[in-house]
Amino acid sequence: MNSTNQSLKPITTKINQAGNLEIGGCDLVELAEKYGTPLYVLDEETIRAVCQDYKNAFKTYSKVNFMFASKALCSMATSAIAASEGFGFDVVSAGEIYTVHKAGADMSKVLFNGNNKSYDELSLALKLGVGRISVDNFFELSLLNEIAKSYNKTADILLRITPGIECHTHEYIQTGHLDSKFGFDLTQIDEAVELILNDFTNLKLHGLHAHIGSQIFETSIYGDEIEILVKEIARLDKKFGLKLNEINAGGGLGVKYTDSDCPPSTFTIAEIIINRLNECVEKYNIEPPALFIEPGRSIISTAGVTLYTVGSSKQVPKGKAYFAVDGGMADNPRPSMYQAEYYAEIANKPDFEPLQDVTIAGRFCESGDILIKNIKLPQLEEGDILCVYNTGAYNYSMASNYNRVQKPAMVLVNNSQSDIIIKRETLEDLTAHDEIPHRLRK
C-alpha cells in the first residue's frame, strides 16, 4: 500500500485555472506576491495525511506511540498540528522543549534526546514534566541524577544504545553504527544499568532507545534493530531481574526528493517492525513492550515547498547556464552539506515544455551555493517563481543568517486559506542582539 511520504509533491498540488501551480487551494504565484520570497509553504492536508498513514499502518499493534521528531521542523503551529493528531514529540534542545510546551503539547508525551544535554536543559525538562529523557552517556546519567535529586524528583529515562547497524545513507546522517557519537555501546549497557540500580536512585529506567539513521530506504534493518532491542531487554531481565517495558525504535524513514527516489511506505515499514516484534516477543519470552516510533522527515518534508524569485543569469561559454534565485544555502543548506538533490517547477509556467538544462544557483557568496544542478526547465526569465519541492524537513530548521540575510517567512495553507506561522525576519531582527561596547562609540 502506498503512503504519502512516497509522493514527490504535496498531495493538494495542481495546476489551477490561471495556469499556475496551486497547493492547499492557494495559488503559489499569489502567495509569492503577498508574502514575498523566499517563502516556505506548508500544506496542512499533507501533514495530516502522513500522520494518518502512520496510525493506520501500525494499528495492529495495540501498544504503539508516535512522537514527531521536532528537529525536522519545530514551530508552534506544526507542533499544534502534530499534537492534534495524537503525536508526542522527540525533542533535542531547550528551545524545542519550550516550543512544544508553548504550543500546548502534553509534556508527558515528550522525550528529550541528545548526546550533550546541559544542566539548564535537563532542569527545564524536569520542571516542565517531560515524560522521558533518553540518556546518552555516563556523564549524563550522573548529571541527571544530581539534578533530579536536588528537585526531589525521579527522572523517567530510557537508555539510548548504539545497535551497530549501518544503513546506506550519507555518513553524516547515520546514527546507529558502532563508530557514532550517539548512545551507549552494547558492551556498556550493563555498567549503566548497575549504576542506575545501585547508585543513581533518582533515575527510573523504563526501556531502550535506538536510532539507525535518516533518509532510510532499506527495510530489513528495521527488523534487525527491533531484534537487538528485544534481545537486550530479555538479557537484562535475566541478569538483573529488570522488567523493562518500552522500546523506542527511532524514525528515519525516507522521502521522495527526486523522481529516481523510491522510499518504502509507512505500511511496509510497519509490517516489518510489527512482525519482527511479535516474533521476538515469543522468541525471547518477554511481555510485549510499548513501541515508540519517532518519524520526523517523513511527516513534514513532503508537505513543504520553498518559493524563490528568479533573478540574474549567466551562460558560461560552451558551459552551464546559471540562473540565480533570491535564496540558497542559508535557507536550504542541505545541497552544500549532504549533496542533497531536489526537484523544482516554475510556479507560473508549470505546463510549459521544459527545454533548457540549467543550474539553479543561490544568492550567497559561496561558489558551493548551488540549489539544483542540471535540471530541465521551461525558458527562465527574471521574475519567474521557482517552486522547489520536498523542503519541509531540515530547511527552516537548519537555516542561518549567513551574509546577514533575514530568514524567510513560513505560511501554512489549507482549504484555500494561507496563514503566516513564522514571520519573515526584519533588518531590526538581525541587529536586535548586537551590542557596541561603550569604548567603541563615538
Distance between CA atoms of residues 385 and 344, nearest Å? 10
- Structural domain ending residue among the three candidates 265, 300, 335: 300
DSSP 407: P
Distance between CA atoms of residues 89 and 94, nearest Å? 13
Which of 167, 280, 365, 387 is catalytic? The answer is 365
Could you report the per-residue pLDDT of 23-39, keeping only the tens digit for each? 999 999 999 999 999 99
Indicate if 283 and 421 belong to the same structural domain.
Answer: no
Indicate if 137 and 14 belong to the same structural domain.
Answer: no
Residue 5: pLDDT band with limits 50, 70, 90: very high
pLDDT of 167 strictly over 90:
no
The length of the chain in residues reads 442
Indicate if 134 and 242 belong to the same structural domain.
Answer: yes
What CATH number corresponds to the domain at position 33?
A: 2.40.37.10
Structural domain harbouring 363: 4-42+302-431
Residues contacting 152, CB < 8 A, separation 6+: none
Residue 436 lies in a domain: no
What CATH number corresponds to the domain at position 258?
A: 3.20.20.10
Contact assessment for residue 372 and residue 341, using Cβ atoms and an 8 Å cutoff: yes
Indicate if 53 and 69 belong to the same structural domain.
Answer: yes
Indicate if 251 and 367 belong to the same structural domain.
Answer: no
Distance between CA atoms of residues 103 and 44, nearest Å? 16
Residue 168 lies in a domain: yes
Q: What percent of the chain shows pLDDT beyond 90?
A: 92
User: Of 52-61, 171-180, 348-357, 404-413, where does mean pLDDT reach its minimum?
Assistant: 171-180
Cα separations (Å) of 424 from 371, 421, 428?
21, 10, 11
Q: Per-residue pLDDT averaged across 190-199, rounded?
A: 97
Number of independent structural domains in the chain = 2
Residue 437 lies in a domain: no
pLDDT for position 164: 75
pLDDT of 13 strictly over 70:
yes
Q: Per-residue pLDDT averaged across 74-79, rounded?
A: 98
User: Of 144-158, 178-192, 213-227, where does mean pLDDT reach its minimum?
Assistant: 178-192
pLDDT of 170 strictly over 70:
no
Could you report the per-residue pLDDT of 280-332, keeping only the tens digit for each? 999 999 999 999 999 999 999 999 999 999 999 999 998 899 999 999 999 99
Distance between CA atoms of residues 322 and 327, nearest Å? 14
Residue 438 lies in a domain: no
Phi, psi at 282, each rounded to 5°: -75, -40
Indicate if 59 and 36 belong to the same structural domain.
Answer: no
pLDDT of 442 strictly over 90:
no
User: Of 212-221, 347-356, 361-370, where does mean pLDDT reach its minimum?
Assistant: 212-221
Indicate if 280 and 379 belong to the same structural domain.
Answer: no
pLDDT for position 179: 52
Residue 171: pLDDT band with limits 50, 70, 90: very low
Indicate if 318 and 412 belong to the same structural domain.
Answer: yes
Closest CA to 88 of 71, 73, 105, 64: 105
- Structural domain ending residue among the three candidates 278, 300, 322: 300
- Structural domain ending residue among the three candidates 300, 315, 341: 300
Residue 406 lies in a domain: yes
Indicate if 11 and 72 belong to the same structural domain.
Answer: no
pLDDT of 173 strictly over 70:
no
Cα separations (Å) of 371 from 313, 335, 385?
14, 6, 15
CA 77 to chain CA mean position, Å: 15
pLDDT of 260 strictly over 50:
yes
Indicate if 247 and 131 belong to the same structural domain.
Answer: yes
Indicate if 158 and 289 belong to the same structural domain.
Answer: yes
Catalytic, 167? Answer: no
Residue 441 lies in a domain: no
Residue 111 lies in a domain: yes
pLDDT for position 180: 61
Q: Per-residue pLDDT averaged across 101-106, rounded?
A: 98
Indicate if 49 and 29 belong to the same structural domain.
Answer: no
Residue 440 lies in a domain: no
pLDDT for position 214: 87
Distance between CA atoms of residues 292 and 109, nearest Å? 10
Distance between CA atoms of residues 395 and 263, nearest Å? 20
